[in-house]
Each structure stands twice: as C-alpha cells, then as structure tokens.
Amino acid sequence: MSLAAELSGHIPYLRRYARSVMGSQASADNYVAAMLEALISDPSSLTGFRDTRSDLYRLFVSLWSSIDINLRDNRVAGTESTATRNLQAISPLPRQAFLLVSVEGFSRQDAAYILDVEEAELDELLDRAHRDIAAQVATRVLIIEDEPLIAMDIQAMVEDLGHTVTGIARTHDEAVGMFGEERPGIVLADIQLADGSSGLDAVNEMLRQISVPVIFITAFPEKLLSGERPEPAFLVTKPFEPSAVSALISQALFFLDGAKNAA
C-alpha cells in the first residue's frame, strides 16, 4: 500500500484534532497542509515506531512546535479571526491530552507517545484538563437535534457540565426561532434535521444575527473535514461519548473566553 493510501483515512480526523486544538479551521488546515508537504519531501519523517495513526499525530504535534505559519485568514470573521499569528493560538498541553483521549479515542499510552511525555505526566495533564473544565463559567446551550433520544442524552450531558439548555429544536425554523428568542452562548447542531432541512443552513442563518461557538454533531464527519471549503472548527462524531461532547464544549468556551479577553 502506498503512503498516500495509508494516510488518506486518517487525514480528515487529524484535521478535526487540529481544528479543535486551535479553534480555527484556517489555522489548523494550514498546519495539516504543511505537514503533508513535509511528508512528500521526506516520507521517512513518519517514523513508523508505533502505528501509522499515532505516528502521524506525533509528527503533526512536533511540526507545530518547530515552525511558524501565518495562522490568520483575514477573510474569516468571528472566532476564526481570533487566531493569532504564532503558537499562542494552540491550546495548553492539558487540553491537547484531553482531546486526544476523549475526542480522538487514543489510549493513554498512545496519547503519551503523541505528546512525547511519560504516562504519569499524561495522567497529570488529564487531571488538570478536568479541573479546567470544572472551573469554566456555565453558559446557555441551544441543541438542534431531530432524534428525541439523542437530544435527551445531549441535554443530560450539557446539564451535568453545569450549563443550561435553552431549548431543543428539531427543524430549521424551530432552530432559528429559538436562537432569536433565547440568544444562547453556544449551539450544538445536528446536520440532517427532521423536516429534511440542514442544520448547517440553520446555523449559517443564526450566525448572521450574532457570532457564537457552534459544535456540529454528525454520523458522516468526513464530509465536513475535507479542507476544501469553509467547514466547522468543532465536530463530534455519532455515536459519541459524553467525554467527547464535554471536551469540545470546553474547547469552544476556551476560545470564546480568549476572544473576550483579547477584546
């Protein structure tokens, strides 16, 4: 199997990780592209010490530690424009560890390998990440989900984190109406809605009113991780674990707080 074929299934999920760590599609996709260019120039840089996926993520983490890319895409407004031009745009190490384990599904051993830390240090990083999440200020959450049982699960997870659910919308019109009435601090949105409408369209209409962080929930993440067009910075894959939803809500609020502090 060629290197390109071996990597093709992993690249969309690496984009997801990079975007959630940086809070920006533009910044993250620039780094993924730079890593792929480096691999084309020197395929041996993918060490093969562990397994292809772990080695790929490890190479990516080492890449952003050693080079500086123009992270800002001035054409993009809102949270995208809060990304800085240097490595300050990257989340602290505890959050990186938490995302690797909770969202990307790596074992503790593999996450430690990717971050080049000992397993004991990884455990400390995960503990710090949990404390950071617990200390975050609660916000108001709008859920856009047409499957009642999934919506109930998401509501329970959100409320367990200390947040308030402003409403659960099943269609485009319900979502836009609830958003206008309640002005939530964050939106969790499915892609396909009950009336055949698109959660993406609903979110785009909402964001024309006011900018808020959005986390998309989908069973087909590859369609939103192509790097070929404007795509979400935060994405949860169905079926999901509560820790994945928790991690991405925390990340979205982390970057929102950073933007408020910068302002």
Tell me: pLDDT of 209 over 90. no
Tell me: pLDDT of 53 over 50. yes
Residue range 97-115: mean pLDDT, rounded? 96
Residue with tokens 């019109």: 173
Tell me: pLDDT of 103 over 90. yes
Question: Following DSSP, what letter does each residue of 130-156 receive, concatenated?
Answer: HHHHHHSPP-EEEEE-S-HHHHHHHHH
Fold category of 137-262 in CATH: Rossmann fold (3.40.50)
Residue range 253-261: mean pLDDT, rounded? 74
For residue range 75-91, what is the model confidence (pLDDT) as tens digits?
333 434 443 333 445 67
Tell me: pLDDT of 40 over 90. no
> What is residue 74's predicted lDDT score, i.e. its pLDDT?
36
- Domain at 3-132, CATH homologous superfamily: PhyR, sigma-like (SL) domain (1.20.140.160)
Residue range 144-169: mean pLDDT, rounded? 92
3-132 and 137-262, same CATH topology: no
Q: Which of 106, 120, 123, 124 is nearest to 50 (CA)?
A: 106
Alpha carbon 168 to chain centroid, angstroms: 22
Tell me: pLDDT of 28 over 60. yes
Top mean pLDDT of 72-81, 84-93, 161-170 is at 161-170
The secondary structure of residue 189, as a DSSP letter, is: E
So where are the chain's domains? 3-132, 137-262
Please tell me whether residue 252 adopts helix, strand or coil conformation: helix
Q: Which residue has the higher pLDDT, 260 or 153?
A: 153
Q: Which of 179, 176, 225 is nearest to 198 (CA)?
A: 176
Residue 260: what are its φ and ψ, rounded to 5°? -65, -40
Tell me: pLDDT of 52 over 80. yes
> What is residue 89's predicted lDDT score, i.e. its pLDDT?
52
Residue range 61-72: mean pLDDT, rounded? 63
